[in-house]
Amino acid sequence: MVEFINKMITRQSFERFVSVFLGKELTSGGGLTKHHIDALEINEDILQVRGWAFNLGKKFSPDLIYFRAGENYMISSCALKRPDVKRVFDLNSEMVGFHLKIKSSDVEKSELKIGFVSENSMSEFLLMKEV
């Protein structure tokens, strides 16, 4: 199995990617996505986050998931089957799980946030803050 580690990109690259991906401008919003972090593991080399997320209106995975550390972003999506979440929330798909890996050296010593983009709206939540 090939180990995949997500790469961080700049804010400008993130905004350009999202506008092309959605075909329209992104607006700040909130409340459209339900999510849960099952695990947050940090070691010297890798930061891993596992969990699930879905759009409350569509009952389907968000269009994009991203992590933000300062001005750096990492884009991902829901690509893991979570039949348990589908069953509990009566979703239209079980593809609502995510497992992201980031090099610890790529994460700035600042607040780490997780964000979701659904139907051209984005919401962001604090995941970790270095103390």
Cα(17)–Cα(64) distance, integer angstroms: 11
Q: What is the edge-to-edge ordering of all strands in the sheet holding 9-10?
A: 9-10, 72-76, 64-69, 112-118, 121-128, 27-28
| pLDDT of 1 | 37
| pLDDT of 85 | 96
pLDDT at 21 over 60: yes
Cα(113)–Cα(124) distance, integer angstroms: 7
Task: Write down the architecture of domain 9-122+124-128 according to CATH.
Answer: Sandwich (2.60)
Is residue 39 a contact partner of residue 49, using CB atoms and an 8 Å limit? Answer: yes
pTM of the model: 0.79
Is residue 76 a contact partner of residue 121, using CB atoms and an 8 Å limit? Answer: no
Beta-bridge partner residues of 113: 68, 126
| pLDDT of 79 | 81
Is residue 105 a contact partner of residue 42, using CB atoms and an 8 Å limit? Answer: no
Domain map (residue ranges) of the chain: 9-122+124-128
pLDDT, one tens digit per residue, over 27-86 is 666 557 889 999 988 887 888 889 999 988 888 888 888 888 888 888 877 789 999 999
